[in-house]
Amino acid sequence: MAPSFNLIGLVVADMGKSLAFYRRLGLDIPATADAEPHVEVVLPGGIRLAWDDVETIRSFDPAWTPPSAGSKISLAFLCDDPSDVDRAYAGLVEAGYEGHNPPWDAFWGQRYATVFDPDGNNVELFAPLPVSG
């Protein structure tokens, strides 16, 4: 039997800061999780998203070091409509998170924007553009 894809894991420097960011994107993560070394949620469709603090990773991989440059991973969040992309992006930037690409109408037919989570990962926000015709 072939392995089945089941989990996306993020290594975080500050669990509370990272979870606060993802709560703003609508993930249901209890506040008590902020002090935990490992947190995970089940996403629609059954895939799990997990966060581990650096100490947890180093407990089984003492030589682990963060990637030196660029984004380590990119996560994409589907918004209800193009105006929700704008609202989500503005809300995150106003809350102090770093915006990377402000909302724009992509040539592939989506309203698209990118912000960085507290650990520098790309988080894409997108929604289909209305079909003209």
Are 100 and 92 spatial neighbours (Cβ–Cβ below 8 Å)? Answer: no
Looking at residue 132, its pLDDT comes to 76
**So what's the architecture of 73-133 in CATH?**
Roll (3.10)
Taking only the tens of pLDDT, the chain with its 133 residues reads 876 789 999 999 999 999 999 999 999 999 999 999 999 999 989 999 999 999 998 898 888 888 766 556 789 999 999 999 999 999 999 999 999 999 999 999 999 999 999 998 889 999 999 987 6
Torsion of CA 67, 69, 73, 78, to 10 degrees: 150
For the domain with range 1-62, which CATH number is right: 3.40.1710.10, 3.10.180.10, 3.40.50.1370, 3.30.310.50? 3.10.180.10
